[in-house]
Amino acid sequence: MTVGKPEGILDATNLEILWQRLITIMNEVDQMIVRTTFSTILSEGRDFACILMDKTGASLCQSVWSTATFSVVLPRTARKLLERFPIDTLAEGDVLATNDPWIGTGHLPDYCLLTPVFWEGAVIAFLGTVSHMSDVGGHPAEIEGYDVFSEGLWMPPFKLYEAGEENALAFEIIGRNCRVPDMLLGDLRAMAGATRVGAGRVREFLTDYGLEDIDGLATEILTRSENLMRRRIAELPDGVYEYGLDIDGYIDTVHLQVKVTIKGEEIDIDYSGSSPQTRKASINSVFNSTYAPSTYPFKSALAPDVPNNEGLFRPITVRAPEGSILNATYPVAVKARAKTINNVNQVLFGALWPVFGERVQASNGGIWPLVLLGDDPELGNFLVDMLPHGGRGGMPSLDGMIPVSYPENSTITPCEIIETKAPVRFRMKELRPDSGGPGRHRGGLGQVIVFESIGTDTIIFNLTPDRITTLPQGLNDGQPGRIGEVFINGEKVLRFPPIQLQPGDVVELHLAGGGGFGPVDERAAEQILHDLGMGYITPAGAREDYGFDPEAGERR
């Protein structure tokens, strides 16, 4: 099929064919990354994204598995990289990169890479990747931290490759400032290599369709997407919707406050009234990392059927007061900013449930990233991670989901993989009965994970738990989910510096459940009986949370 150079309007059918082909290219890049990376966080955890951008840096599509928020951020990063290295100075084989938190995704472990795609001597597009690296040096603490300088190596915008050659100094510095240089350098090379293959595929695409560039196609994608989003927003009733939510923070509780203004075909999100940034913990979010999880819920709710691209976000503005925990200023600590921003969708849904209808869910049990690292006589220098989740919030028409990844779409490293790479044995990983918030639609269950250190030496254990001091709230009179708890050898733990696990130590994680949606007394008796039968609630839970007599099979 030859469509010629798209000038003006591409018809919808051709557009869809071309667009899907581009997504397929990104899926191939994605697959190649999974198969060639060295670290579990990329190969098993899928904490990365690969994105196609036009020559201005606007995103056109991504691989279907790409982490949602990364895809929203990368175009912003790309433009900063192109400010530093203007497009007409680039050479074939260049790869631009940075892990600057204020330019990239908000913390140092995420490396953003940008590869220009050359066609007939000029840059016609960019392939970008964002990936969470296993280690970038810095203190081993996750939550505790005073400033960003403690958090590892900061690489300002630089060329990782120059005209196809590795930048020797950059590779050397990055490797020397990392505890697992083989993983980090291997992952960087895997990312760059995959985008190189992707660039070749984009050129094949241009050849197959007889295109000189993708400018017309990009305009079509971005404009159609923007128009669609504007129509969907216009369908919502105008108004100002507000919500406030207390979240764990660290040491001090943090308050998130939002005011969403829907006016015509535009949305304004304003976080005025949120807590100030803190020097007590690395839970501060830079603007980029607030922007992405703020816009993404709207994409999911209003345009779930359209491939992710930057046109969708044009009608939405995000504002957060400078110096607040959602627009933190250099050089505060930001390593665990996810602990704050993973809650942003809950604040937005709290504000918008009256108009979003089916498309919201109550608060959830959070993400509990855990990292185990150390030296082992048999396993060598190891570092593994897992991103287990609490239960998801109840929805207007459904119970909350069990612990699946949310709001990110990373996957959960299997226990078996971790056991092959670190000296630990998992004793339990199961659903946590009675942890889902009661309501017309019950919150999803949290989970219990128990593991034991079986090595011969100390292991460093880092955990960033959530919802251990504040409840996952329900919506529309639904009840909160059960709070999370952490025990080591039976002792409750509330502070999370790097923990030194000794051989034989047993760690118990009780992840919180999601909040319920709707009043408890509206939950049907057969659903309560079903939950009892499945073991989602216990007889005691049925009595206390639902006023339900399990023996009689009815409400008392």
Partner 1 sequence: MNEAKDPGQQGTGAASAAGGQGAGAARRPGQGQAGGAGGWDGSGIDPVTLDIVWQRLITIMDEVDLMIVRTTFSTILSEGRDFACILLDETGASLCQSVLSTPNFSVALPRTARKLIERFPVDTLREGDVLATNDPWIGTGHLPDYLMVTPVFHEGRVVAFLGTVSHMSDVGGHPNEIEGYDVFSEGLRMTPFKLYEAGQENSLAFEIIGRNCRVPDLLLGDLRAMAGAVKIGSRRFREFLGDYGLSGIRGLSEEILGRSERLMRRRITELPDGVYEFGLDIDGYIETVHLQVAVTIAGDSLTIDYDGTSPQTRRAAINAPYSSTYCTSMYPIKCALAPDVPNNEGLFRPITVKAPAGSILNADFPAPVKARAKTTNNLNQVIFGALW
Interface pick for partner 1 out of 153, 236, 454, 529 (rule CB under 8 A): 153
Interface pick for partner 1 out of 244, 321, 331, 414 (rule CB under 8 A): 331
Q: Which stretch binds partner 1 (CB under 8 A): 131-139, 213-221, 269-277, 354-362?
A: 131-139
Rounded Cα distance, 548 and 527, in Å: 11
Q: Angle at the Cα of 547 (from 541 to 549), degrees rounded to 5? A: 80
Q: Residue 487 corresponds to which tokens in the numbers above?
A: 């025990």
Q: Which stretch binds partner 1 (CB under 8 A): 151-159, 200-208, 277-285, 468-476?
A: 151-159
Length of the chain, in residues: 556
Q: Residue 378 corresponds to which tokens in the numbers above?
A: 């048999």
177 binds partner 1 (CB under 8 A): yes
Alpha helices in 456-495 (DSSP H): none
Contacts of 128 (CB under 8 A, 6+ apart): 50, 51, 52, 53, 59, 74, 77, 78, 112, 113, 114, 115, 195
Q: Which stretch binds partner 1 (CB under 8 A): 133-141, 269-277, 398-406, 474-482?
A: 133-141
Query: Radius of gyration (Cα) for the chain, nearest Å?
Result: 24
Interface pick for partner 1 out of 13, 120, 169, 491 (rule CB under 8 A): 169
Beta bridge partners of 273: none
Q: Which is nearer to partner 1, 66 or 134 (CB)?
A: 134
According to DSSP, the β-strands at 252-263 and 266-270 are antiparallel
With contact defined as beta carbons under 8 Å apart, do 481 and 513 qualify?
Answer: yes
User: How near is the Cβ of 187 to partner 1 at its closest, in Å?
Assistant: 17
Interface pick for partner 1 out of 16, 92, 172, 522 (rule CB under 8 A): 172
User: How near is the Cβ of 89 to partner 1 at its closest, in Å?
Assistant: 14
Alpha helices in 439-551 (DSSP H): 525-534, 539-546
Rounded Cα distance, 449 and 16, in Å: 44
User: How near is the Cβ of 331 to partner 1 at its closest, in Å?
Assistant: 7
Q: Which is nearer to partner 1, 177 or 409 (CB)?
A: 177
According to DSSP, the β-strands at 266-270 and 316-319 are parallel
417 binds partner 1 (CB under 8 A): no
User: How near is the Cβ of 216 to partner 1 at its closest, in Å?
Assistant: 37
Interface pick for partner 1 out of 83, 91, 156, 502 (rule CB under 8 A): 156
Q: Which is nearer to partner 1, 10 or 136 (CB)?
A: 136
Q: Which stretch binds partner 1 (CB under 8 A): 163-171, 307-315, 424-432, 530-538?
A: 163-171
Closest CA to 4 of 203, 204, 202, 206: 206
The HSE-up count of residue 356 (CA atoms within 13 Å, CB side) is 27
317 binds partner 1 (CB under 8 A): no
498 binds partner 1 (CB under 8 A): yes
Site for partner 1 in 90-129 (CB under 8 A): 100
Largest CA distance in the chain: 78
Q: Which is nearer to partner 1, 5 or 176 (CB)?
A: 176
150 binds partner 1 (CB under 8 A): yes
Closest CA to 506 of 432, 425, 446: 425
Give the burial class of 162: count Cβ atoms within 10 A of its Cβ; 0-12 exposed, 13-18 middle, 19 or more buried.
middle
**Total residues at interface with partner 1 (CB under 8 A):** 29
Contacts of 8 (CB under 8 A, 6+ apart): 216
Interface pick for partner 1 out of 6, 57, 138, 436 (rule CB under 8 A): 138
User: How near is the Cβ of 254 to partner 1 at its closest, in Å?
Assistant: 23
Q: Which stretch binds partner 1 (CB under 8 A): 64-72, 171-179, 466-474, 517-525?
A: 171-179
**Residue 385 backbone dihedrals phi, psi, to 5 degrees:** -145, 160
Q: Which is nearer to partner 1, 172 or 430 (CB)?
A: 172
Q: Which is nearer to partner 1, 94 or 226 (CB)?
A: 94
Interface pick for partner 1 out of 11, 83, 149, 208 (rule CB under 8 A): 149
Interface pick for partner 1 out of 85, 146, 426, 487 (rule CB under 8 A): 146
154 binds partner 1 (CB under 8 A): yes
Give the DSSP letter of residue 225: H
Q: Which is nearer to partner 1, 135 or 226 (CB)?
A: 135
**Residue 356 backbone dihedrals phi, psi, to 5 degrees:** -85, -15
Say how many C-beta atoms besides its own lie within 10 A of residue 139's C-beta. 17
- Tokens 């497009």 belong to 87
Rounded Cα distance, 92 and 548, in Å: 69
460 binds partner 1 (CB under 8 A): yes
**Identity at 537, one-letter amino acid code:** I
529 binds partner 1 (CB under 8 A): no
499 binds partner 1 (CB under 8 A): no
503 binds partner 1 (CB under 8 A): no
Q: Which is nearer to partner 1, 159 or 467 (CB)?
A: 159
Beta bridge partners of 486: 509
Chain Cα centroid distance, residue 486: 23
Q: Residue 216 corresponds to which tokens in the numbers above?
A: 């017309």
At 242 the three-state DSSP class reads strand
Interface pick for partner 1 out of 140, 186, 193, 216 (rule CB under 8 A): 140
Interface pick for partner 1 out of 132, 179, 335, 440 (rule CB under 8 A): 179
Question: Which residues make up the interface to partner 1 (CB under 8 A)?
Answer: 100, 135, 137-140, 146-147, 149-150, 152-156, 158, 167, 169-170, 172-173, 176-179, 331, 458, 460, 498
